[in-house]
Amino acid sequence: MSVRIAFICERWRWKHMKQTTKHVLFVGNSYTYFNDMPENLFKPMAEAKGYSVEVTAVTAGGYYFSRFADPSDPEGQRLRRTIEGNGYDAIILQEQSCYPVRDVNGFCDNTGKLKALLAPHGNKFFLYCTWGRRSDNPMLAELHMTSEQMTEGLSAAYNRAAQIHGMTVAEVGKAFADYAAQYGQADLYDPDGSHPSLLGSRIAAGVLLDTLETMGVLA
């Protein structure tokens, strides 16, 4: 009898999950697609918590929001083909890794342009705020920043854009900084000192999942 009850409960659980499947769209660049984070990390983490999630990712190395919003850009065209006829419960956007601290006003403007394109397909927008480069990365000298200053600058820029455009920030960069303060930076980064290691991508996926949970998107 107990086996039969367990079987019925399991069937109900999977039926219920199927009925409440949430669709999540990722738009970004290599900080998103490294380690196939949306499909290989974010989705399994969500499923481990009992959520049914389908992910779609439109990503391209080094891409900016402005290029995704551009109808003449090849990736902008791919994004339009992908979203046509589809709706999403959450839309996660990730900008080129340095641009928000180089030009916060341009970043905010381009965030609005990309949101305008995507808004007919979903109304829950999340900004995936990235991290400062590793302390030995030469880009920091070009930016005249430390790793910590870059992380703080990115957070400030993303939060400004979120406030203007009615979005929620997933503070992945701050999670990187918290980990680095306890254990050092070495394990967070790919050897290039910019992209995430597998651990870094796991942290990103976890912060994104926690943020969507907090905002009630997955319930």
**What does pTM read for this prediction?**
0.91
Kind plus residue range of the DSSP H or E element containing 52: none
Contact 197, 189 (CB under 8 A): yes
Main-chain dihedrals φ then ψ at residue 27, nearest 5 degrees: -130, 120
Query: What's the distance, CA 9 to chain centroid?
Result: 34
pLDDT tens for residues 18-63? Answer: 448 999 999 999 999 999 999 999 999 999 999 999 999 999 999 9
Q: Answer yes or no: is pLDDT of 15 > 60.
A: no
Closest CA to 27 of 82, 94, 102, 98: 94
Grade residue 17 by pLDDT with cuts at 50, 70 and 90: very low
Q: Answer yes or no: is pLDDT of 1 > 50.
A: no
CA distance 97 to 19: 37
Per-chain mean pLDDT for the chain: 93
In this prediction, residues 58-71 reach a mean pLDDT of: 98
Q: Which fold has domain 20-214?
A: Rossmann fold (3.40.50)
Contact 27, 91 (CB under 8 A): yes
pLDDT tens for residues 118-177? Answer: 999 999 999 999 999 999 999 999 999 999 999 999 999 999 999 999 999 999 999 999
pLDDT of residue 5: 56
